[in-house]
A and B are shown apart, each in its own frame.
Chain A
């Protein structure tokens, strides 16, 4: 029997994009706020969002950053890095260029004290295999994000999993993003469309279409995904709101994934990090479209001891509520759910640091 897991609580600064971009908080102010409000101890940061000049990180800056994180009692978990293969206008990066592009960011993660680097789906199995020795050299685990419109049992993810198994490196794994396994179109986004003048009839049709796709399960492949996207676009056009159609499609397929919670079992041993993706907290104090309680129960019962970065995505459209209160609300649900599952979330920095190190040192086994 698996020992119950006790995930580490934390947050990604991405949740506070609107406050940072709006110059309400600078990086230091935001990190201090996260610590003071108890959103940690886990701290995730997107390199290209928060660090000027990224991936170039000089020694003085790295020292300042590490000292600040230590002073406020946070624990760096994941540095989100990007595979910008379309950075040149006239061509995509070739494999050698891509490996070099990622190497610099993996080095930045190590320099800044992040034990994990989140990478994205555009990195294919061959590239992950080539990156493994670079990850090992720098002691940084590469956790490829499984994000809607993909999901754990999607063919592209299973191909990666199978390659991981062949390569056998403990430095290759996944970041599980809860947006792959949602149970509804977020009510706060419906409210945002209402504020943009969408009719109640149209909004009901959007919800019905999403529910139809939920019943059908996640899209079998990219062609199926494309067809669903097209049906959301058509809904806008048929209802006199072509301006909203693409938005329905992007969000309806790319944010609210319709896979079931137990789909994560397909890759569970390789889950090195989790994005606690969510979109809002309702008047009952619950997340209406992400099954946070079921997801926490699954992770606890599967013995997960890594970090969960609370990732608030509702800031795209929700300009009328504070992201800070919403993040606090989702973390309260996580803690309550972990206790209901017979465990707890780790909130003590020293305990979190030791547990994360042990989690990442574990050999992966199926």
Chain B
């Protein structure tokens, strides 16, 4: 719906081994964490391993697989979540960031008990901030 808004420009951080970026919901209304089906993060074309990914929202960090059991944890349209994964980021210069989100839309049932799943992708280029600087 609004995939161009997924990646927040200028929010790429790295501690060398992990990279993190802020993401916005590509939908007009809040969705619960249980509707976040799949997440992918790549920096400069290098994909973070799926099992290394974490999702931080409403002050808590979870592995992607844990989100399925959180129907009361809402991703509000104004809030940024943070996706983090194991992917090395070389210092200096601009980096291409790719985020893919697959989200269930829980009120749209297509066919026999099947819930609509949307697939959205965004790419943005930005400099990386060292995680230590970002904390300071």
Contacts and interface: CB of A to CB of B under 8 A. Distances in A.
Contacts of B109: 85-86, 92, 122
Interface of A: 14, 17-18, 20-23, 26, 46, 48-49, 52-54, 82-90, 92, 120, 122, 316
Interface string B1-32: 11001000000000000000000100011101
Interface in B86-124: 104-109, 113, 115
Please tell me the size bucket of the interface on B.
Answer: 20 to 34
Nearest to A46: B29
Interface of B: 1-2, 5, 24, 28-30, 32, 34-35, 37, 68-69, 71, 74, 76-78, 104-109, 113, 115
Given A22-B5, A86-B115, A120 B68 contact: no
A120 B71 contact: no
Given A48-B29, A92-B113, A21 B77 contact: yes
A14 B77 CA distance: 12
Contact of A54 (B30, B105, B107): B30
B78 to A, nearest CB: 6
A89 B28 contact: no
A89 B2 CA distance: 24
Contacts of B29: 46, 48-49, 82
A82 B107 contact: yes
9 contacts: A20-B78, A23-B78, A48-B30, A82-B106, A83-B107, A86-B108, A86-B109, A92-B113, A122-B107
A238 to B, nearest CB: 22
Contacts of A120: 107
Contact of B106 (A21, A26, A87): A87
Contacts of A21: 2, 5, 24, 28, 77-78
A275 to B, nearest CB: 14
- A22, A52, A87, A92 pick with most chain B CB within 10 angstroms: A87
Given A46-B29, A86-B104, A86-B107, A53 B74 contact: yes
